[in-house]
Structure 1
Amino acid sequence: MRPLTPYPTLGVLSSLILGTAGTAVADTTPSAEALEPIQVTAPRLERDWLANPSAVGVLTPEDIQPGHQNLQMDEHLNRIPGLQMQNRYNFSQDLRVSIRGFGARAPFGIRGLRVIVDGIPETLPDGQSQVDAIDLESLHQAEVIRGPSSTLYGNAAGGVLDLRTQSGRDIDGAAVKLDYGSDDFRRIGLKAGGGQGPWEYSVSTWDMRYNGYRDHSRVEKRLFNSKLAYEWADGGRLETIVRLLDAPDTQDPGSLTLDQVDEDRRQARPESKALDGGQSAEQQTVGLVYSRPMAAQDEITLRAFYTRRDFGNRLPFESGGQVQYERDFYGLGGQYTHLNEVMGRPARLGVGFDAEEQRDDRQRFDNLAGGARGDQTFDQREKARTLALFSQGDLALTDRLDLVFGARFDQLRIAVDDRFQPMGEDRSGRETFNEWSYSTGLSYRWARAHQIYANVGTSFESPTFTEFANPDGGTGFNPDLKPEKAVNYELGAKGFIGDHSRYELSLYTIRVRDEIVNFQRDAGRDFYENSGRSRRNGLELGLEHRPADQWVLTAAYTYTDFEFRDFEDRFGNDFSGNAFPGVPRQQLFAEAAWQDREGRFAALDVVAVDRQYADNANEERVSGYGVANLRAGTRLRLQGLEVSPYVAVNNLFDKEYFSNIRINTFGGRFYEPAPERTVFAGVTIRPR
C-alpha cells in the first residue's frame, strides 16, 4: 500500500467529504443554526474557548453523535486535531493515545498524558493512566488540552483529556440499549437519570462480550457508572461519583511479523496463544466533588477520591511473564478562584493544591504453558506520592489583549520496597523529584470573532514504575533512567467565520531533554532508556461548518515532524536525526453528518493516516491507509415507547490495515491487524 502524500491527501479527502456534502445540502435545507459560544474548564480557570491562549479541542454534546460502537474513545476524539490514537481492538493492551508525541512510546495504555473523568483523575502519581473503566455510552462532553500542561496538572501532563459523563437531567428518563455486530459483538445496558428539586441522579450499567476479529482476542467487560448530586440554594453543589469495572477475561492476540500477517491476518501470535496471553481487572472508584460560589464572584472547589484496582496478566514469555498487583490510589485537591482588578483592569487568580498517593503490591511469576503459574520471580511494594501547589491567573491588559500565566511546584516521591531477595541483595530504593513548571500566554482579539495567541509552557514526566524496571532483570530501580523534560512554544489562531463556521490553527515546536524511549533485549518485556535530546514540530488544523440546518461538516488535520537530535542507545546505535517511531507524519479526519429534530441521522467519516516508522532505526516503514465508516439511524414512536434503531459499517471499503504498531519490538513483530469490514446494529428503547 502506498504511503499517503501530504497535501493531495488533505485536498482530495476534504473535497470529497466536505465539499460534496456541502453542495448536496446547500439548496435543499433551511438556514443553518448559528454556532454557540463554547466555555472550557480544563485549563483550571473557566474561559471562553475563543479567548483561551492555547490549543484546546472541545467536544460538545452535539458533537457526540449516536451510532458509534463505543469500543474506545478514539471513535469520538478523532475529530480533535493533534490526537493520534491506535489499538482500538486489543482490550488487553488498551487504547494508545498520543498528543504531540507525548504518549507515543507506550507499548500499552496511556503515558505522558493526564486523564480526568468527572473531576476525578484516572492518571496515577507515577504518570500511568487507565481508561478501561470509562463509560463511553454516557460520554457527554470532552476537552483536550494539546501540549505540555504540567503548570496545570503536574507530572505526565504532555496533554490533558478532561471527560464528562451525563448528569441526571441530561438523561431525563430511562432507557435500555442492545447492540450486536460482527465477530460476536454483544452489549446490553441500562441508563436512567433525572432530577427533582435540589437532587439529581444518573446511573448506567453495561455488559459487553466480544470475540474479536483475531484469534485469542475475546473480551468480557462490565461497567457501572453513577452520579448523585445535591445543590444548595446558595449555589453550592456536592456530587458523588461511583465507577465500577469488572473485566474477568481479556485476551491478548499479540503482534505479528509481516510474513505472519500475509499467512493469516486473523491469527494470534503463537506464544500468546500457547501461554494464554491476556489479563483480568477489577476496579472501584468513589469520588466527591464540591463547589461553591463565594462573595464577590469568587469560587471554591474541593475533591476527594479513592480507587482500588486488582489486576493480573499473562505475557507471552515464560520468565516473569505473569504479573499481578493490588493497587490503592487516593487523593485530595482544591482550588480557590478570586476575581479582582489590577490598575482598573479585570483580573482573576486561582490557587490550589493536589495531594495524591499510589500504593502497588506487585508480584511476578513464571508463565507456563496454558497460562499456568510457575515460580515467583519478583515481589515488590511500590509507593508514589505527589504534593503540589499551583497558581493560575489571567489579566485583561486591554479590551483586546489578555495575559494568562501560571506556575506550579510538584514534589514527587517514589519508593520501592524489594521483598524478593533470593541472593540476599536488597534493591529497595527511593527517588525524589522537585519540579517547577511555568507557562504564560497572550491572546489578541484582532476582530470581533477572531483571535491570535502565543504561549510557552514546560512539562516534566517521571518514568512509571513499569518503566523503572531494571534491564538486567533484577528488582529495584533502573539507576540510569531520568525524568523527561520539555518546553513547548506555540502560535495559533482561532475564530468563527460568520455564524456557521469555526476554525482553529496551531503551530508548535517542542524541545525535549532526556526523552524516554522503549527497547527490547529479547523476545520478552519492554525496558526503557533516555534518548538525550529531541525536537518536535507540528501543525494542527480543525474546521467545523454548518452549511444548512441539520448538517455538520467537520475536519481535523495533524502534521508532525518529530526527530531525535541526540540519541545513542545502550548498545551503541546512533539514531540521531531519525524520525520518531509510532507517530504518523500526517493524519486527517473528515466527516459529514446529518441529523433532524425527529431523531433521524446519517454520517460518513473518513480517517486517513500517513506512513510511520516502527523502530528507532527507521528501517521498518509502515504504509499509510484510509478507512471510511458509515452509520445511520432513526427514532420511532410505538405504543408508548420511543424506539431508536441504528446500523453502522466500519471499514466500509474492506481495507486491510493495522490498528496498532508495536514500536521497537524484538523479531519484527510490529503489526496488529485491524478488522476488515464490520457491521453492527442496535436499538435504544425508552418510555415516552
Structure 2
Amino acid sequence: MIRITKDARRGGAIVGALALAMLQPDFARASTARPPSRSTHAAPAVPARRAQQKSKPRLQSDRPAPRPEEITVNGVDRLSVAARPTGQTTYSAERSDFANRSAQTVADMMATIPGVTVMQGNGPRDTVISVRGSGARQSYGLKNLSVTEDGFPVTQPDGTARADLIDPHAYAGVDVFQGPASSLYGNYAINGAINFRTRNGADVHGVELGSDFGSFGMINNYVTLGAGNRRYDLMLFGSDVRGNGFIPNNAYATSTENMRLRVVLTPADRLVLKVINNVTDTFLPLRLSLSQYLANPYQQGCANAASASNGCASVNLLSNGRYGATRATSPQQAGLGRFDRRTIVGLRWEHDFNAQTQWRTQFTYDQRHVDQPTSTTAFVGPFNSYNVQTDLTNRGHIGATPLTSFVGANFDYMDYGYQVYNLTPQGGATRGALNSTSYGHQFNIGLRFQEDWKFAPKWRAVVGLGGTYSDIGAVETLYAYGASSRSLQYVTANRYFFNLAPEASLVYAPSKAWTLHTRVGTAYATPSYSSFFVTRQGNYGNNTSLKSETSLGFDLGAEWRPSADIDVQATGFYEFYHNEFVSQSAGVNTAAGSYTFNAPASEHRGVELGATWCPLRTRMPGLQFKLSYTYDNQIYTNYMETLTSGAVSRSFSRKGRYIPGVAPHFLNARVMYDQPDGVFEGLGAFAEVAWRSDMWIDNANILKVPGYALLSLEVHYDPPARFGWAHRLHSYFEVQNVTNQIYAAGATVIADSLLSSGRQAGAATLAGKTGSIYAGSPRAFMGGVRVRF
C-alpha cells in the first residue's frame, strides 16, 4: 500500500510515485527505518509512507506542517528474493548505530552485529571481517564471503574483497546474511554474504561537510551531496583521511569517492549507476611474534635494525637484490608499505513486465592495481574483472497462497598479471631482481533459483539450488640466481571445478511477538589463483593440488518482540566443512608469507545472540541497552599435519583440536542515552564494552594470544530545530580504549614446528615465530563536526 499526498497528484506524479515504489531493493530498504541489528527471516512489505516522510526537507521552524490529504493506492513489494532471502539468518546495522561516533573503518559499522568479528589487516582501513569465523585465519581482506554494495559485486572472481573502499560516513547501513549461502550468492559465499547500503540522496537533501580528527595525527575531511525526487536519486560522496599511526612506519593517506545514481526512465524501467574509486597509500609495519609483541607492542626504538631495541621486527633483504648475503632491515629502512588503487563501475537496468514480474540485468567493471612491498618482496600488478548478472523475480500464487519465484544467472571473469621483485636494503622499497611472475585468468559461470511459498498464514517454506562452473588457468615463473647464471622454473595450474548448493528453510510466525526459523544450507568456494602458487615454506612455488571447500550448515533461530521496547534474536548453528581452507604464516622473512592448505573435515558450531532493550520508555525514552554476543566453537575432525625438520618428518593428528585464529567468545555491549526534549534536547552519549576471549594461533593448540576487554565512551550533540541555523550542526567527542589496554588487534595463524629430535616444538619456540600480531591502538581521543546545507 502506497500513500500519496493530494499535492503529489499534479503533473502525473502518481505514476512517478508508483515507479519510485518499484525501485530496486536497496533503495526501498534504505528508506525503511528498521531496528538496528534486527534478524530478518522473511521479506516484509515496504512501509512506503515512512519512506516518503523521511525524504521530506526538514522544517526550519517548530510549527507543525499542515497535514495533507492522503489517497491510498495499492501496489506491490519490489524487494527481490536475493536482496532479502527468506529463512536465512540476517542481521543488520543501521546508520544510527555508527553515525554518532568516529566510524573510520568498517569495524565501527559492524560492531553491534552478532556473529561478526573484526581483526586488523594490512593497512589502516584493511579490516578483516569475519562472519562465523570466515576470515579469522586471513591476514587481509574479506574471505569466504560474497560482498556487494547497493547490489553490485565488490568481491572479484578470485574471491578477493577488501575493506579499504569503505568510509562509513557514506553508508545508510549494512546487512549480513549468515551461514552457507552459495545457493543464492554463488562462489565464495561459504560463510554468507554482506551487502553495504549507501545513503539515499533524498535523505541527504543538500550538502553535508564534515571533519573528524583525533590522536596520532588522524584527520578525515569528507563531503556528501544528495538530491532526489520521483524521477531520480543521486548520492555523491568523497573523503580524504590521513594519519601518522600509533606504530612507527604506519602513516597513511586514503581517498575515496562513491557515487550512486538512480533514474526512473518510464513507469516500467529504471537505471542504477554505481561508481567507487579508492586510492590507499600507506606505510606498513611488520607483524610480530608473540614474544616481540609482549616485549615491545608498539615497536618503539626500532627504526634502525642495527641498533634496535628488544622486541623489534626486521626483514632480511638480499644485499644485491638477487642472491647471497642478506642484511637485517627495519620496516622504515626498507620502505615497506602498500600503494593500491581500486575502481568499480556498474550499471543496472530494471524492467517490470507487469505488476508481478521484474527483470534485472547489470554489468560491473572492477580493476584493482596493487604495488605492495610488504616483506622481503614487492608484489605488483593489475587485476581486471568483469561481471554480468541477470535475474527474474515473479510474485504469483498457487491457488490462494503466495509464491515468489526467482531465477538468476551470472558470469564473471578476471585476467591478471603480476610480478614479484626482491627488495634491497637501499631503502624506499627499492626493487632488485625478479623473484617470480604469474599470468592467468579465472572465470565463474553460475545459475541459481529459489521458490518461496507462503503455504499457510503463519508458515513459509523455501527451496533453492545454485551451481557454479569455475575455470582457473595460470602459469607461474620462478627465478633463481647465481653469481653468473639465472635459472627459470615454471608452475602451471589448469583447474576446473563444478559445485552445487541446495538449500531449504522453514519460517513460522505463531504470533506478532514470535518468529521462528530453521534452515539447511550448503556452500562452496574454489581455490584462488594466489593460493596455488605458495608453498608450505611461504615461498612462491607449487601448491596446485588444492581442492574446493564445501560446507553443509543447519540454523535454528528465534526472534522475540513482545513490545516495542524489547527485541531479542538468537540463532544456533552447526556446520560441517569438507576440505576447509586454512591459511597460516610462515614468517616475515618469506616471499609470500602465508600458505593455504585443505583440512579434510571440520565442524563449526555456535550461538549468536542480539538484544535491544528500552527499559524506561515512558520516564526515560532515550535510554537503550544493546547486546551482541557470539559463541563460535570450531574443531578439526579429520586432519593429519606433516611437519619436517631437515631429514626428519612426522605426521600429527589434529582431530579434536580447535581451529586456530577463531576466538570462541565475542561480546559487545552498549548503554546509550539521547535526550528527546527539554533544555538538553539533542544531547546524547554511550558507553561501550567490547570483549574478546583468548584464542589459539597454531594447529596443535600450543600457543594462545590473550583476549582483551576495551571500554569506549562517547558524547554527541544535535541541536534541536528551535535553534535555527545551529540545528544543521552535529558534533561528537569519543575516547577509545579508555583504560589504555595493550591488546592484539590482529593475529594470524602460525605454522607449528618440528625439532630435530622429532618432537613438536613447544610454546617458547612458537612464541618466536614472526608474521602474526599487530598491536591495537592505545588510548585515543576522537572528535568531529558535521554541518548540513
Fold shared, TM-score > 0.5 on shorter chain: yes
> CA distance change for structure 1 residues 635 and 93 in 2, over 3 Å: closer, same or farther?
closer
Task: State the one-letter code of the partner of 2:507.
Answer: S
CA-CA distance at 1:287 after TM superposition: 0.9
Correspondent of 1:300 among 344, 352, 359: 359
Alignment correspondent of 2:665: 586
Alignment correspondent of 1:494: 559
3-state SS in 1 of match to 2:700 = coil
Tell whether the 8 Å contact from 1:532 to 1:567 is kept in structure 2 after alignment: yes
Q: Quick check: 1:174 aligned with 2:207?
A: yes
Alignment correspondent of 1:448: 512
Q: What are the within-5 Å matches in structure 2 for residues 353-364 of structure 1?
A: 353-364=409-420
3-state SS in 2 of match to 1:260 = helix
CA-CA distance at 1:53 after TM superposition: 1.9
CA-CA distance at 1:419 after TM superposition: 5.7
Q: Quick check: 1:595 aligned with 2:674?
A: yes
CA-CA distance at 1:34 after TM superposition: 10
Tell whether the 8 Å contact from 1:362 to 1:380 is kept in structure 2 after alignment: yes
CA-CA distance at 1:225 after TM superposition: 0.9
> CA distance change for structure 1 residues 35 and 73 in 2, over 3 Å: closer, same or farther?
closer
Encode CA deviations 1:232-268: one digit per residue, 9 max, x unaligned.
Answer: 4515321111111112x21221222343334332116
Correspondent of 2:475 among 417, 420, 425: 417
CA-CA distance at 1:333 after TM superposition: 0.6
Task: State the one-letter code of the partner of 1:448.
Answer: K
Encode CA deviations 1:254-306: one digit per residue, 9 max, x unaligned.
Answer: 22234333433211633333432211011211111222333142212221111
Task: State the one-letter code of the partner of 2:342.
Answer: Q
> CA distance change for structure 1 residues 311 and 34 in 2, over 3 Å: closer, same or farther?
closer
Task: Measure, in 2, the Cα distance between the counterparts of 1:35 and 1:635.
Answer: 21
Q: Quick check: 1:627 aligned with 2:713?
A: no
3-state SS in 2 of match to 1:382 = strand
Task: State the one-letter code of the partner of 2:240.
Answer: D
Q: Quick check: 1:110 aligned with 2:142?
A: yes
Task: State the one-letter code of the partner of 1:591.
Answer: R
RCO comparison, higher one (Cα < 8 Å, 6+): 1
Correspondent of 2:448 among 381, 386, 390: 390
Q: Quick check: 1:352 aligned with 2:408?
A: yes
Task: Measure, in 2, the Cα distance between the counterparts of 1:199 and 1:265.
Answer: 51
667-676 or 267-276, larger mean C-alpha shift: 267-276
Alignment correspondent of 2:73: none
Q: Quick check: 1:54 aligned with 2:133?
A: no
Task: State the one-letter code of the partner of 2:184.
Answer: L
Tell whether the 8 Å contact from 2:420 to 2:434 is kept in structure 1 after alignment: yes
3-state SS in 2 of match to 1:404 = strand
Task: Measure, in 1, the Cα distance between the counterparts of 2:143 and 2:120.
Answer: 14
Task: Measure, in 2, the Cα distance between the counterparts of 1:130 and 1:262.
Answer: 29
Tell whether the 8 Å contact from 1:652 to 1:677 is kept in structure 2 after alignment: yes
Task: Measure, in 2, the Cα distance between the counterparts of 1:468 and 1:34.
Answer: 43
CA-CA distance at 1:136 after TM superposition: 1.5
Q: Quick check: 1:153 aligned with 2:185?
A: yes
CA-CA distance at 1:35 after TM superposition: 5.7
Task: State the one-letter code of the partner of 1:351.
Answer: V
269-278 or 40-49, larger mean C-alpha shift: 40-49
Tell whether the 8 Å contact from 1:362 to 1:382 is kept in structure 2 after alignment: no
3-state SS in 2 of match to 1:110 = coil
> CA distance change for structure 1 residues 291 and 368 in 2, over 3 Å: closer, same or farther?
same
CA-CA distance at 1:446 after TM superposition: 2.2
CA-CA distance at 1:551 after TM superposition: 3.0
Q: What are the within-5 Å matches in structure 2 for residues 277-288 of structure 1?
A: 277-288=336-347
> CA distance change for structure 1 residues 48 and 458 in 2, over 3 Å: closer, same or farther?
closer
* TM-score normalised over the length of structure 1: 0.89
Task: State the one-letter code of the partner of 2:134.
Answer: F
Q: What are the within-5 Å matches in structure 2 for residues 457-606 of structure 1?
A: 457-471=521-535, 478-521=543-586, 523-524=589-590, 525-547=593-615, 548=617, 549-571=621-643, 572-596=651-675, 599-606=682-689
Encode CA deviations 1:303-338: one digit per residue, 9 max, x unaligned.
Answer: 111112111111222xxx110111111111111111
517-526 or 448-457, larger mean C-alpha shift: 517-526
Percent identical? 22
> CA distance change for structure 1 residues 198 and 151 in 2, over 3 Å: closer, same or farther?
same
| Alignment gaps of 5+ in structure 2 | 1-32, 45-77, 300-311, 316-330, 480-485, 644-650, 752-765
Task: Measure, in 2, the Cα distance between the counterparts of 1:596 and 1:393.
Answer: 46
Structure number with larger C-alpha Rg: 2
Q: Quick check: 1:72 aligned with 2:108?
A: no
CA-CA distance at 1:638 after TM superposition: 7.1
Alignment correspondent of 1:12: none
3-state SS in 2 of match to 1:532 = strand
Tell whether the 8 Å contact from 2:512 to 2:561 is kept in structure 1 after alignment: no
282-291 or 387-396, larger mean C-alpha shift: 282-291
Q: Quick check: 1:668 aligned with 2:668?
A: no
587-596 or 268-277, larger mean C-alpha shift: 268-277
Encode CA deviations 1:347-405: one digit per residue, 9 max, x unaligned.
Answer: 11000111111111111010111221010121221211111111011111221221011
3-state SS in 1 of match to 2:561 = strand
CA-CA distance at 1:627 after TM superposition: 0.6
> CA distance change for structure 1 residues 480 and 497 in 2, over 3 Å: closer, same or farther?
same
Q: Quick check: 1:201 aligned with 2:229?
A: no
Q: What are the within-5 Å matches in structure 2 for residues 75-154 of structure 1?
A: 75-87=108-120, 90-91=122-123, 94-154=126-186
CA-CA distance at 1:92 after TM superposition: 6.4
Task: Measure, in 2, the Cα distance between the counterparts of 1:595 and 1:366.
Answer: 55
> CA distance change for structure 1 residues 365 and 658 in 2, over 3 Å: closer, same or farther?
same
Tell whether the 8 Å contact from 1:119 to 1:289 is kept in structure 2 after alignment: no
Tell whether the 8 Å contact from 1:339 to 1:348 is kept in structure 2 after alignment: yes
Alignment correspondent of 2:783: 681
Correspondent of 1:378 among 436, 445, 455: 436
658-667 or 587-596, larger mean C-alpha shift: 658-667
3-state SS in 1 of match to 2:158 = coil
CA-CA distance at 1:93 after TM superposition: 8.3
3-state SS in 2 of match to 1:338 = strand
Task: Measure, in 2, the Cα distance between the counterparts of 1:156 and 1:46.
Answer: 16
Encode CA deviations 1:75-131: one digit per residue, 9 max, x unaligned.
Answer: 12121111111117x516821122222222212212111111111111111212122
Tell whether the 8 Å contact from 1:86 to 1:659 is kept in structure 2 after alignment: yes
Tell whether the 8 Å contact from 1:143 to 1:162 is kept in structure 2 after alignment: yes
Tell whether the 8 Å contact from 2:526 to 2:547 is kept in structure 1 after alignment: yes
> CA distance change for structure 1 residues 240 and 111 in 2, over 3 Å: closer, same or farther?
same
Correspondent of 1:402 among 456, 460, 464: 460
> CA distance change for structure 1 residues 419 and 138 in 2, over 3 Å: closer, same or farther?
same
Alignment correspondent of 2:495: 431
> CA distance change for structure 1 residues 426 and 573 in 2, over 3 Å: closer, same or farther?
same
Task: Measure, in 1, the Cα distance between the counterparts of 2:558 and 2:97.
Answer: 22
Tell whether the 8 Å contact from 2:407 to 2:450 is kept in structure 1 after alignment: yes
CA-CA distance at 1:490 after TM superposition: 1.5
Encode CA deviations 1:141-178: one digit per residue, 9 max, x unaligned.
Answer: 21101111011111110211111011211211112111
Number of residues of Structure 1 aligned to a counterpart in Structure 2: 647
Alignment correspondent of 1:316: 375
Q: Quick check: 1:216 aligned with 2:274?
A: no
| Alignment gaps of 5+ in structure 1 | 1-32
> CA distance change for structure 1 residues 43 and 81 in 2, over 3 Å: closer, same or farther?
farther
Encode CA deviations 1:34-72: one digit per residue, 9 max, x unaligned.
Answer: 9699776999517889xx3221001234334312x2232
Tell whether the 8 Å contact from 2:744 to 2:775 is kept in structure 1 after alignment: yes
